[in-house]
Structure 1
Amino acid sequence: MAKIRVLIVDDSAFMRKLINDFLSEHQQIEVIGTARNGEDAIKKWRELRPDVITLDVEMPKLNGLEVLKQIMEEKPLPVVMLSSTTKEGAETTLQAIQAGAVDFVAKPSGSISIDLHKIKSELIQKVLSASKANLTKISILEDSKTAKKQTDISIDTKLQPADYVTTRRLTQSKKVVCIGTSTGGPRALQQVISSLPKGLDVPVLIVQHMPPGFTKSLANRLDSLSEIRVKEAEDGELLQKGTAYIAPGGFHLMVKSLGSSLAISLSQSPPRNGHRPSVDVMFESISAIKNYSKIAVIMTGMGADGSKGLVEMKKNGIVKAIAESQETSIVFGMPKAAIATNLVDEVVNVENIAQKIMDYI
């Protein structure tokens, strides 16, 4: 098996050495070079043609975002950003994902993190998953917003006869939408959430695998781009129609009945499948809510988070499940695992997910 050839870009010699040591331990990874700043990164990238680049956000001369944009314009390849957990670092990281980065890893204690070992396994896994990323999806997403503006979201009346009874029951009940995603998720969420119409008559719950400090910036960015309200979820708040709630990094998001309403419950119970927040935890919590129909969506991401929770949801009440297609998933792991349960009702491209949600609403 050919090794994944990696170029490491960081302005700290100490960090370059640590990252090199960590990645080189894995038998599938070969570090073929390092670069000390943005200009050096562009030069080494052109010379070495790596399979994956790990790219520091904050660097002199050319910063990580500027390097990334140049790479994506010239010859796209998988890039994993390394970011600080400051507010500015989080916002720049989201800009990097929008510009084409596959994923990011948060440095535990700033630009020079002597405790980088804390994210060693995460860094290795993200480099491995980045090497399998669907870059054609990254290159076409920018056109989606233009395409979206040319077609109004509407109720699709072309239902198959077998769907009629279930769909009638779904439309006559109270509903909640729940979305789970991971690698490539911020871009997919932007496409889906910004396509939902103003006046949406249901609440939306979202788990995006992200560390603390980044989900608030994601919520703010989506809120600025969307017709519906988007916010980071807070413990105890009542769900409102037309609002999307993003699980805070480091907390599981669950829901509980409170009279005739639903309330958010946040928990720091142990991670599930290595994740907190976990899609499975959210789905299992929603499966216990009575008198609601549920629309479950699983989009791009590494691993299988969400598939066990989907099984629980389908055991309890009316559930319509949507999975993102392989064609548009940046990483097809989570949708593939959900589809393998044979409980997914629709497999659709990301640009059609908002319309499909509205069909069920």
Structure 2
Amino acid sequence: MASLLDSKDNPIRILIVDDSAVIRRTIRHALIAHSDLEVVGTANDGAAAVAFVQHTKPDVMILDVEMPIMDGITALKEIRKSDWSLPIIMFSSLTKVGSQSTLTALTEGASDYVGKPDNTSDMQEFLTVLEQTLIPKIRALCPDKGLNTGLAVRKLARNNTKDVLKPRTAPDLSVAPHPVPSSPAKLFDNNPIEAVCIGVSTGGPAALVTVFSQWTEPLKVPVFIVQHMPAQFTELLAKKLTSISGMPVKEAVHGEVAIAGQAYLAPGGHHMTVKDIGGRIATHLNQDPPENFCRPAVDVLFRSAARAYGSRLLGVVLTGMGSDGMLGAQHIIQAKGQVIAQDEATSLIWGMPGAVVRAGLAQKILPLDEIHTEISLMVSRKRSLA
């Protein structure tokens, strides 16, 4: 019978791509110290990485951005021409220039990113980043390998579903939701939609590009977005989405009145809520403690939007790690609003949408390339019924 001990027999196979021999060696030594991780190759430029994956496909690639011969962005694009399933983690500087490059990589199909320490010569800081950030992300992107191997692990996950779906911070009893329904939520077809809230995390930039690039004109309602990202990325993401969509996107500003045809992205490091003030909905920002280890958090936005819009709200949960958005979706359903979740097949990580689906809160479960159409139809159809 399979067990946790099987991780040695089914390790996560990793390719390290960086032009610095010191960094490649440091990453390798950190990874192989874990029995569930195996380094199957290293490369010092993007061209070598592309050639490697053509004959030996790893389970995960760690990819630098700035390299000679072929940079990481170009290598990513080349790999994605034929392979969208290989998890690729960008490992690069989070300076202003580095942030722009990393965001470009994320919107071109990179699975996730980890920021290199500013001082890569500080070995203790570097190792801390590897152990606390990079390695957990590697494991999360390979749910059937390494420490995740075996029927015992999957059985344990099934038996502890209630624990998995619990909030990771102390609940606010003033907004505590009712018990989770055991069957899919009822679809309230006669409710006009006056706002859309989108929650997304790992794999989010590429998913948002897919959705927003299909809108050639603004929706007739405001859209509020929480993407788990640090501050230096969210402004860049808003600009990127605006550049490829007929629906303009901006970072939310505290106290700004929301208008139809505009999308508002929560700034990194700030929770975003919406409040009805004298009949007008305005965005509010705060730096309250993280929820689900996140700030901004989807649950925070969804709760506030359910109070402000009630049955006129559509919540959408896209790809992402963890369960952020599940408790917020409960509030939307309790207010007789609508909830859509991305399906497992098209999610990079079916954590957040999966939590919503398992809790019986998703009225529709759709592949990513159908979500923009469904949002448009629900907004236009239900407004016509108002």
TM-score w.r.t. the length of structure 1 is 0.82
Match of 2:245 among 216, 223, 226: 226
Residues 215-268 of structure 1: CA deviation (Å, up to 9, x unaligned): 111110110111111111222222111111111222222222222212222222
Match of 2:94 among 79, 85, 104: 85
Q: Any unmatched runs of 5+ in structure 1?
A: 134-161
Which stretch shifts more, 246-255 or 10-19? 10-19
Equivalent residue, structure 1, for 2:189: 167
Match of 1:52 among 31, 49, 60: 60
CA contact (8 A) 1:58 1:111 kept: no
SS in structure 2 of the partner of residue 183 of structure 1: coil
TM-score w.r.t. the length of structure 2 is 0.77
In the superposition, relative to structure 1, how do residues 31 and 299 fare at CA in structure 2: closer, same or farther (>3 Å)? same
CA contact (8 A) 1:38 1:61 kept: yes
CA distance in 2, matches of 1:271, 1:25: 31
1:348 shift after superposition = 1.1
Match of 1:207 among 226, 232, 235: 226
The yes-or-no answer on 1:101 pairing with 2:101 is no
Equivalent residue, structure 1, for 2:352: 334
In the superposition, relative to structure 1, how do residues 197 and 37 fare at CA in structure 2: closer, same or farther (>3 Å)? closer
SS in structure 1 of the partner of residue 231 of structure 2: coil
Equivalent residue, structure 1, for 2:303: 284
Number of matched pairs: 327
SS in structure 2 of the partner of residue 248 of structure 1: coil
The yes-or-no answer on 1:130 pairing with 2:147 is no
1:298 maps to a residue whose letter is V
1:189 shift after superposition = 0.9
Equivalent residue, structure 2, for 1:149: none
In the superposition, relative to structure 1, how do residues 247 and 49 fare at CA in structure 2: closer, same or farther (>3 Å)? same
CA contact (8 A) 2:195 2:309 kept: no
2:338 maps to a residue whose letter is K
CA contact (8 A) 2:311 2:337 kept: no
Equivalent residue, structure 1, for 2:41: 33
SS in structure 1 of the partner of residue 237 of structure 2: helix
In the superposition, relative to structure 1, how do residues 200 and 110 fare at CA in structure 2: closer, same or farther (>3 Å)? farther
1:95 maps to a residue whose letter is T
2:247 maps to a residue whose letter is I
1:207 shift after superposition = 0.9
SS in structure 1 of the partner of residue 197 of structure 2: strand
Where does 1:55-70 land on structure 2 (aligned, <5 Å)? Answer: 55-70=63-78
CA distance in 2, matches of 1:357, 1:50: 37
2:257 maps to a residue whose letter is L
CA contact (8 A) 1:15 1:112 kept: no
CA distance in 1, matches of 2:264, 2:119: 28
The yes-or-no answer on 1:184 pairing with 2:192 is no
CA distance in 2, matches of 1:251, 1:18: 34
1:119 shift after superposition = 6.1
